[in-house]
Copies of this chain bind each other. A is one copy, B any other.
Amino acid sequence: MRKAQLTMQDIADRLGISKSTVSRALKDHPDISDETKQAVVKLAKELDFQPNTLALSLRQKKTNNIGVIIPEIVHDFFAKIITGVQEVAYNSGYNVIMCQTNESYEREKTDINALFSSRVDGMLISVAKETEDFSHITNIYNKGMPIVFFDRSCDLIHTSKVVTDDFDGAFQATEHLINQGCKHIAHLLGPKNLDISISRLEGYKAALTKYGIEINENLIVKCGEGTQEEAARVTDLILEEGDTKIDGIFANNDMAALGAMQSIKKHNLKIPDDIAVVGFSNWQLAEIVDPPLSSVSQSAYEIGIAATKLLLKEIESNENEEIKPETKVLKPQLVIRASSQKKK
């Protein structure tokens, strides 16, 4: 700040009263006379007085800030979560400090320590892909920092968490394909080291089993990191060299689904009539591509809302009462679009 800042002392001086009176008047303390109150409020408004919340926070040992650790803002999914977080926080008088780790462990460590140093009242964390050692998180947890994980959690730490029911989403998607008449449904698998990939695979298998369709391991194919190109390539293989003629694809994510669609079109097959396609995540692109892509929506906004509510509850709970961690599993919703609705 270039200029000296305006303080309560300044207001007090001008009015010939003490700064404690100013403080009380500003928070409408019953002891203060109406006359004094009005004078103070008037002058404060005139001078556009903004109290220094640093001093307040230091004094009260409470900042009314919460920190959010997020891997990547540019992902629709996380951006929507943030929006949910800010909504709840804002309405409860909290500010949100966001840090983007770019999936880097080092960055995550630094960010979390910085948030701790600035004494946020609690943290919402989605861990970076790189992170395997969680001591930076257990450290602050042990010091009493309220933490809620969202989307990507860490089982080592016994806190509240909010996650998507990936199994259920995959089940819904696969069941929908079956209901559309698909008998030979391929699955484009995500990276095996992520829990979500496994859960989605399990959901896919469970749906097939429920409807008495045999699981064909040849139709379950890895597509690396799940990029469009990789997905297109593996779909090419399925269509050209596979011994089974498929009529449906459930992809681990929307980018992969898109790659599959490109491959299908290239082979002059029709979507959805020859092959129906369903993705996962319901990114913006899903409604934009041609044909619009059916996809499992993870209700990111709701995840943000739920996680923040849990965190604020914890922050505002009485110090004495023991908080028992809750795990909220949000059911995803299948959004059906043209890519999977076969004409009957």
- A107 nearest CB neighbor, chain B only: B90
Asked whether, in the complex, the Cβ of B117 is within 8 Å of the Cβ of A52, the reply is yes
Question: Given B86, B143, B146, which contacts A5 in the complex, CB threshold below 8 Å?
Answer: B143
* Contact status of A74 and B63, CB under 8 A, knowing A50-B117, A53-B119: no
A319 interface residue per 8 A CB criterion: yes
Contacts of A79 in B (CB 8 A): 73-74, 79
The verdict on A139 contacting B48 (CB below 8 Å), with A54-B58, A319-B2 known, is yes
Give this chain's copy count.
2
Contacts of A107 in B (CB 8 A): 90
Q: By the criterion CB–CB under 8 Å, are A73 and B63 in contact? A: no
Complex contact B95–A95 (CB within 8 A): no
Bound complex: CA A63 to CA B99 (Å): 16
Interface residue SS majority, chain A: mixed
**Is the C-beta of A336 less than 8 angstroms from some C-beta in chain B?**
no
CB distance from A34 to the nearest CB of B (A): 26
Whether, in the assembled complex, A51 has its beta carbon less than 8 Å from a beta carbon of chain B, the answer is yes
Residues 253 to 312 of chain A near chain B (Cβ within 8 Å) = 258, 262, 265, 284-285, 288-290
| CB-based contact A100/B83 at 8 Å | yes
Known: A2-B319, A50-B113. 13 other contacts (CB 8 A): A1-B143, A1-B145, A48-B143, A50-B116, A50-B117, A54-B118, A73-B79, A82-B100, A95-B99, A96-B98, A96-B99, A98-B98, A258-B288
- Nearest 9 A/B pairs, CB to CB: A2-B144, A3-B144, A74-B79, A53-B117, A73-B79, A54-B58, A50-B117, A53-B118, A98-B98
21 contacts between A and B (CB under 8 A): A1-B121, A1-B143, A1-B144, A1-B145, A3-B143, A5-B61, A48-B143, A50-B117, A51-B117, A53-B119, A73-B73, A73-B82, A74-B76, A74-B79, A83-B100, A90-B107, A95-B97, A95-B99, A95-B114, A96-B98, A288-B288
